[in-house]
Structures are given as structure tokens and as C-alpha cells.
Chain A
Amino acid sequence: MAIVSPWKQDFPVFTTYQELCYLDSAATCLTPKRVADAMHYYQCHLHANSHKGLYQLSANVTAQVEKARERIAEFIGASDQNTIVFTSGTTESINLIAYSYIASRLTSDSNIIISAAEHHANLLPWQRLCQQTGASLRVAPLDQYGVIDIAQLKALVDSHTALISISHSSNVIGKINPVQNICQFGRQRNIITVIDGAQAVCHGGINVEAIGCDFYVFSGHKIYGPTGCGVLYCRINVIDQMQPYQVGGGVIDNVTYESSRYLSGPLKLEAGSHNVIGIIGLVEAINYLDDIGWPDITHYLKTLSGYMQKSLSQLNVIKPVVPNSFITTHLDTQATPYLTSFQLDKVHSHDVASMLDSKNIAVRAGHHCAQPLHKALGINTSVRVSLGLYNERSDIDRLIDGLAQTHKLLLIE
């Protein structure tokens, strides 16, 4: 079976590192030339401060930022562009939710529910809020396939549950969680829902209104955009109630030494100067993916992911972090995982990564900013392999070969 990427040539890094086998797209995607070109052109020819200058150059940039808001709303199925807030990424988005909206709604009786699979960005802000307010943090377990256990999550909910914040897809396990079901359940009980879409956004087809969440967050660099530019979607009647937790230029319509009046809509949450070059890059990345076509992307990566899972499962020295994670369940309706994590039997994950690096194969090793999940799975570290548009069958073959050699060399009898 030939699986050759028709898009690898779009990524200049492979002309610089011709032997590179990059299997860490869950950490950050490589950059298509077209995205870098768009950013370069903007910075050289169009750059100005948005939303502030009373001259045409600035007005043009303001229009571009607002057009980008429209484009991103369309991309994630939001009908109103004023639900889109630009942030530096997933981490800032979640912190913004925590301190602009949730903090003031918590009491010592409240509880927040997350899942066992959250990465630190969707754990630490809530943990700290609970420490500050006396609220409790409840953790929903995963089922045997590595998906959030809906029944057990629902059993944690009571009349004091203020928030459910879960990942659309875990950055360690990669399975797609039943977020629509959980958000609808939350909505019926007036519980705020936050969906961390960092690892799901690369699957496309996100529809925040169908999901029914109050907040949806993701980072641009997980979908071939630049780092430092992310998105926070806030349901329209929620954004009206949010109070800026960062204040400064651009968030007010009137300031005196005694008091200030904040703007309405997303601008009140975007203090300071917009990261316009990042926003330009993110929009270009979305356009790039749309131009390829999501059906083609999905078909290709699903095929490659299937080959990866099959190849890994045939290597008898591989232990997936969730024993059944190579098994597709009835819940995997939206997408096939584009990532998987495992241990190489009796070989430390860091040694695996170093050995693979010597063969120009880049994988992630460690706890992937999800230490509690690893502890819950009874392990300290794992190796994570994740796929992007530039990967192809030969990458998986090189990986499997490298893993076999590493095991042979470093196995402790």
C-alpha cells in the first residue's frame, strides 16, 4: 500500500532537513511555505497597529483582523464573529476563561469537573481557582478505551457543579471524546462547559454550536499556523458577562483617573496590540487546509493513522498507554486519532527519543504536560507519535525500524 503525501513539498523544512521524519505534530505542526509567505508579506508591506490608528494603513489592518474573526468563526461553526477572541493560544484562552468569567462565580461550595486526560493547561488554572476559592476539583475517569467515561462524569455532577472543562481529544491518547453529549448534559443543568480543542482542531469539522459548549479553545500552531496566536470562542450571551482579567490599551471606551468603562464584545478581552502577524498566519493556514479540502485531509490521515496503529500493534515490544487504545470504539464517530502514545518494553522513553533522533526521527517523550494522566495510567513517561500532512508510509516504516533497533540495543534482560 503506497501512502505518499502530496503536500510534503509545501513545507520548506524538508528542503533544509531532507532526512527529517517529523512525528510530533501534536506538539506543533510544521509551517507551509504559503503561511510563512503570507506572514512575511504582511510584515513587510501591510503592517500597522490595528484598531487604533486614524490613517488608512491602520484601518486596513483593523479590517483584516475583523475579517479574520469572521473567517475563524466560519471555520469553527460560530454564527457570530463577535464570539471569537484572539489569544496567544490554548493556555491563555483557558486562563482567560478562568479569571474573566469563572472565578467570580465560584464559592467554597462549588465544584469543577475535569477529566483524567487533561493536559496541564486544562488542569492548573482550575486547580488554582479551587485553591483560591475553596471549591473542589473533581476528576472524571476514562473508560477502557481511553475515552472519557460519560456515565462516571455525569455521576460526579451535583447542584453545586459550576463548570465542566474537558478536552475534545487528549494529547496523550488521541481519542475523540463525546463532547456534544456532555455539553448538552451541562446545558440542561446550567453548568458552564469548556472544550479544549487543541488536539481536535486539526481534524476539521468543528462546529461549536452543534457541540453546544460555552467556550471552545485552540492554538493556531496545531493547525499549521504560527505559535503565539490562538482562539477563544465564547457563546455570545457569555461574552457579554465576561470581565477582562488583563486590562490596558484597546479594551475601553472611556477612562478617567477614577474609573473606566470597558468595550463590549471580544475587544474588551484583547488588551494591548493585536498579534496581527500571527492572526494573518492562522487565517492563511485555515485557507490552506480548506483549499486542500477536508475530505481529502481526513481520508489521507485516517489511512496513515490506520497503518501506524497496525504497524505499532504488530511490534510485540510496544505497550500502548491504554491497553485498548488501538481499538476503535462506537464513540469514535468523528475521527480516527492522529496520535498515539506507548512505551517500548523495558526501555525508557527518553532513550527511545534519543535513539530515534539519531536517525532524524522526531517523536515526543516524557509526560507530554499530562503528568497526572500518566500517574493514573500507572506510568511515568511515554513516547508519543503524531501525524501531520507531510507524513507518509515511509515515516512509519522508519519509526518501526528505529523502535525495533532501540529495543534490541537497550533492552534490560
Chain B
Amino acid sequence: MVESQQLTNDTAMLYQQALLNHHKSPVGYELKFDVSLSADGVNAACGDEIVIQVQVNKGIITALGFSGDSCAICRASASMMCQYLINYSLAKTQVTIDNVINNINSVNDHHANFEPELQPLLAVRKFPIRKQCAILPWNTLALAISAS
């Protein structure tokens, strides 16, 4: 067996501790609550599957959860989303979703208006193949909201 190699900086960055923590102890994963809105999301190209469930009271998100078989990036992204959007109005949520997706897809390094709590998600910008994994939960939540 060859000697173990140290993880490269890039990979360490991609799987930085914040994302790892969310992946290993995800917020909202298989959470049980009375569901107001839900949607299924699939990345056909890679096989990620996710179900997003939302509880809404008077236009405010009061519970947010997810389930499904997805990779660490998708899972961590969904977990951060579930942690971050509680008590957000649906209108503000949609703005945040657009902001997250735009920042992940952005080609420049200036993210002045990007929520600090979600900054770890920007790590995937260095890995274009994985962007879709990070974006899937947010797109699926947008789908749930638009269907309402």
C-alpha cells in the first residue's frame, strides 16, 4: 500500500469543516412536522435526489426539512438552507434563493452582499461539476414555493 497523501488545499477547501459538519449532522434532515409545501428535486446528470418540505404560517417559514439520497455537497447545502431560512418570509426567501444561486454561479470573487453564514457554499465555485449539487436544494425550495 502506498503512503497516505495529505489532502490537497482545494479538496480541504471544498470539504471544509463547516460543510463537513453540516454533512455529518445535517439540520432539518428527515425532520417531522406538518407540511405546507413540498417539492422533489433531481439532478438527472448525477443522480442526486432530494425532497424539500416547508411549513408556512402567515407567509413565514416556521419549519424546513429535507430527505433523499444525495452527495455531501447537496446535503450540506440543504442543511445550511434549513438552518438559515427559518422565520424568513416567502418573499425574502425567494430573494435569498436567487442570491445564493447567483453567487454560486458567479465568475467573479466579489460577494459583498452574500450572507456570511452561507459563505462555505462558495467553496464549490472552484469545482464547476459540483455547483449543481449545491444549488439543487435551493432550486427545489423555489419549486415548492412557486407551486404554492
Contacts and interface: CB of A to CB of B under 8 A. Distances in A.
A280 interface: no
A358 B72 contact: no
B24 interface: yes
Contact of A410 (B1, B23, B49, B129): B23
Interface in B59-118: 69-73
B71 A348 contact: yes
Chain B interface size, under 10 / 10 to 19 / 20 to 34 / 35 or more: 20 to 34
A400 interface: yes
Contacts of A404: 4
Interface in B11-47: 11, 14-15, 20, 23-24, 45-47
B72 A351 contact: yes
Given A380-B69, A410-B15, A413-B24, A354 B127 contact: yes
A161 B5 CA distance: 55
Contact of B11 (A355, A371, A380): A355
Contacts of A401: 1-5
A355 B10 CA distance: 10
Interface residues of A, number: 27
Contacts of A381: 46-47
Nearest to A367: B47
A394 B2 CA distance: 8
A9 B4 CA distance: 26
A397 interface: yes
Contact of B46 (A350, A374, A394, A413): A350
B23 A412 contact: yes
Interface in B115-142: 127, 129-130, 133
A380 B72 contact: no
Contacts of B148: none
A351 B73 contact: yes
B90 to A, nearest CB: 30
A400 B1 contact: yes
A388 B129 CA distance: 25
Nearest to A360: B8
Given A350-B71, A354-B14, A354-B130, A397 B48 contact: no
A358 B10 contact: yes
A349 B71 CA distance: 7
Most buried by A among B20, B46, B133: B46
Given A366-B47, A413-B24, A351 B71 contact: yes
B56 to A, nearest CB: 30
Contact of B47 (A380, A394, A410): A380
Contacts of A351: 71-73
A350 B15 contact: no
Given A351-B71, A351-B72, A358 B11 contact: yes
B7 A358 contact: yes
Given A354-B14, A358-B10, A405-B4, A366 B46 contact: yes
A398 interface: yes
A359 interface: yes
A358 B70 CA distance: 20
Contacts of A400: 1
Interface string A113-146: 0000000000000000000000000000000000
Contacts of B8: 358-359
Interface string A295-315: 000000000000000000000
Given A365-B46, A366-B46, 12 more contacts: A348-B69, A348-B72, A349-B71, A350-B48, A354-B11, A354-B129, A354-B130, A355-B11, A366-B45, A410-B23, A412-B23, A413-B24
11 contacts: A347-B72, A350-B71, A351-B71, A358-B8, A358-B11, A365-B46, A366-B45, A381-B46, A405-B4, A409-B20, A413-B24
Interface of B: 1-5, 7-8, 10-11, 14-15, 20, 23-24, 45-49, 69-73, 127, 129-130, 133
The 10 A-B residue pairs with the shortest CB-CB distance, nearest first, are: A358-B11, A348-B71, A350-B71, A381-B47, A351-B72, A397-B2, A358-B8, A380-B47, A351-B71, A380-B69
